[in-house]
Chain A
Amino acid sequence: MPHKILVVDDDNALREMVGIVLESEGFEVAFHDAGSGALDAFQKAAPDLVLLDVMLPGKDGIEVCREIRAIAGTPIIMLTAKTESEDVVRGLEAGADDYVVKPFDPGVLTARIRARLRPLGSGSEDTVTIGPLTLDVVGHEVRRGTEKLSLTPLEFNLLLTLALKPKQVFTREMLLETVWGYHYKADTRLVNVHVQRLRSKIEDDADNPKIVTTVRGIGYKAGQA
């Protein structure tokens, strides 16, 4: 069964063109043309992934992103015309998994989509523990004791990657490659923002992390230094 992708963009030509590219790559595509009503369209289409333009009439993409995140962990890729820090970081903080800057190559777009739809790299174990957390690799669930934590697939993948090799320090570039599927130099802010979001969900005190710790000047690791 093909993956379903919801494209939210107000530009008719671009929306149609993205649709052509994605359908030729074998995806099923649904469309919406504004920020308002995007959440309804999302619930109706139940897509596997959302391509979301940042600048939308009615309600901007960042707000839409926040709304979708509130009800689902579905991967979201922002389409942005800006590379200015604030816009990118704002989108990521609102819960977007990744972003693609216009104008983009069709190849880049489909690679980013496939990276987000790729099944998680499953290890040999069924469950992994990290600090007080238990990760159910098969069921994609994280529990602290009996309490179930709601992580997006990306956050789960990020935590699992760190937890599978608890002794290893991961550089941001390594995480970009393993978790995001970038095989070339990409924006390390992706990692920073998502580690921050992950910490806010799993740590008791996100300012003083115990589960995902920062190794100054290098990157991140699971457990305390």
Chain B
Amino acid sequence: MKLRSAVDWALGLFRRYLQVRAGFYTVVLSGIALAIVGGFLSYSIGNGLFSTRLNQVLSESERAAVDVQNTFSASSVTDEISLQTLMNSVVPNLESASTTESRQVALLRTPGQTAVQLLQSPISANLDIALIPNDLRVTVRKAEGKLIYQSIAIPVAGAEHPGVVVGAPIEIPLAGKYELYLIYDLNNEQATLDFMQRTLFFGGSILLLMIAAVSYFVTSWLVKPVREAAMVSEEIAEGALDRRLPERGEDVLAVLARSFNRMAESLQQQITKLASVSKMQQRFVSDVSHELRTPLTTIKLAGDVIFNSREKLEPAAKRSAELMHDQIERFQVLLNDLLEISRYDAGAVHADLEIQDINGVVGMAIAGIEPLAVSKGSRIDIDIPSGEADAEIDGRRIERLLRNLLANAIEHGEGKPILVSVGVNETAVAVSVTDQGIGMSRAEVDRVFDRFWRADPARKRTTGGTGLGLAISLEDTHLHNGWLQVWAKPNEGACFRLTLPRRKGVVFTESPLPLPPKKQIRKVKGVSN
């Protein structure tokens, strides 16, 4: 598990940091390159060492072979004892016992000669004749004066040293054909080679580490501006629009920084422009609000004073006072709606969310609309769940919204009963307002939330709606992240269903109430009217 988490950690670093990745690839590729170069160096140095030593060995051997041959050829010994003495002197003359340059000697009689021989073949004290390969001896016999050599392994104190055995045929008068073998220990060269290889290996490793470090630092240095750019763009994305990259030098990174800064600059300009437009819009709304409302207040107060004393006026003036009074009301509602919708357009609306029982809000909306319902003869039935249906809402807006839906239902409901249903589930609450009036066609349903759109322009306006009611209702719904949906059928009626999340930020996928509504209006808990 520990290993696994370590591997995960390393993989994480690898994925997250460009420097680590660059360092890794640099090290792997340089490692391969170093291995190739090191292998070649080691091979050619080894080869060089060997051939130098071999040449030396061969020239030494040649000299030795010639000396020995000359010694025998020139000797005037005739008896076997003298010959033996002469032969015995060959070995100590040629052999060298130094540990580094050890050379051993063997003077062997070529087998298969007819003359009987009693002479002993002198060899170096430590030499094992088995070291001299048979095929070499065979070749030496046919060599006719040339030197023959072969590489062998010499066992020394448990280890094997590389060595060369050089052989030459020697003609000894009276004694017949002999072979002179010189066995050279190349351990010295091997040690040099080993040392070389060790040095190469350590040097290579250190070089590799340094390459890793250098590549890490170089990449970090290269990545640094990129990382800065990433950090700055992150900050810009989070709203710090005035953040910029430092522009240094003339290279590609400076170009990157400059174009990045230009981009950020134009982005900031655009956003600032949009923000100022939005601010101007809000200011305008606020100014219009104040400028229009103050004279309207005066007009309204004056209209009321005149309206209240209308009985003292002549009939024409009296009727005028009444008309003015009504139209001032209408003007006020229209102004309110206009200002409300432009506040939405300016994005200047914030919900005052509070956890409330939706049933209470529905009750308040119904109570507010009751006088209108009574005057139009519409009964309002309600179907509410027994349990609590609390939701985090802006009660004033939702009440206004429901009052608006109810006013529409009353206006288009032809005096037939209107059903208000409340539904609740885990994530959402819903209120639907269903009338059984004239309904709407498909095309009308599509336009029902449009501003100043009216279901039937030919119809007499009786309740004095502004044509903005449903547009504002839709904005209020969006403010709560809810749904406001409509179902309608000509001559069957219409149903508006409002669905709101029970808590701010909760996502719901299903409304607790059906749309279109259930056919019959079941539970009839009439509101007295």
Contacts and interface: CB of A to CB of B under 8 A. Distances in A.
A174 interface: no
Interface residues of B, number: 25
A183 to B, nearest CB: 13
A24 B297 contact: no
A175 B364 CA distance: 18
A84 interface: yes
B361 to A, nearest CB: 10
B352 A14 contact: no
Contact of B305 (A82, A84, A103, A106): A106
Interface centre among B286, B294, B348 (most CB of A within 10 A): B294
Contacts of B304: 21, 105-107
A217 interface: yes
Interface residues of A, number: 23
Contacts of A217: 355
Given A85-B350, A217-B355, A21 B301 contact: yes
B294 A82 contact: no
Given A81-B289, A85-B350, A13 B300 contact: no
A21 B305 contact: yes
A20 interface: yes
B290 interface: yes
Contacts of A149: none
A18 B294 contact: no
B519 to A, nearest CB: 35
Given A17-B302, A18-B301, A21-B305, A103 B293 contact: yes
A104 B348 contact: no
B296 interface: yes
Contact of A82 (B286, B300, B364): B286
Contacts of B289: 81-82
A67 interface: no
Contact of A20 (B299, B305, B332, B343): B305
Contacts of A106: 301, 304-305
Contact of B296 (A82, A85, A102, A185): A102
B76 interface: no
Interface string B351-369: 0100100000000100010
A82 B332 contact: no
B295 interface: yes
Q: Kindly name the residue among B296, B301, B343, B350 whose own CB sees the greatest number of chain A CB atoms within 10 A.
A: B301
Contacts of B297: 14, 17, 102-104
B364 A17 contact: no
A84 B348 CA distance: 9
B296 A103 contact: yes
Determine the main DSSP class of B at the interface with A.
Answer: helix
Nearest to A189: B352
B298 interface: yes
B298 A81 contact: no
B494 to A, nearest CB: 27
Contacts of B364: 185
A189 B364 CA distance: 18
A130 interface: no
A18 B301 CA distance: 7
Given A20-B305, A105-B304, A217-B355, A82 B298 contact: no
Interface in A8-26: 11, 13-14, 17-18, 20-21, 24
Nearest to B303: A106
Nearest to B295: A13
A81, A103, A189, A217, most chain B CB atoms within 10 A: A103
Given A105-B300, A185-B364, A24 B294 contact: no
A17 B301 contact: yes
A55 interface: yes
Contacts of B368: 185
Interface in A81-118: 81-82, 84-85, 102-107
B295 A81 contact: no
Contacts of A81: 289-290, 293-294
Interface of A: 11, 13-14, 17-18, 20-21, 24, 55, 81-82, 84-85, 102-107, 185, 187, 189, 217
6 nearest CB pairs, A to B:
A103-B297, A102-B293, A81-B290, A81-B293, A102-B297, A103-B296
Interface of B: 286, 289-290, 293-302, 304-305, 332, 343, 348, 350, 352, 355, 364, 368, 396, 399
18 contacts: A13-B295, A14-B297, A17-B305, A18-B301, A20-B301, A81-B293, A81-B294, A82-B289, A102-B296, A102-B297, A103-B296, A103-B297, A103-B299, A105-B304, A106-B305, A185-B368, A189-B352, A217-B355
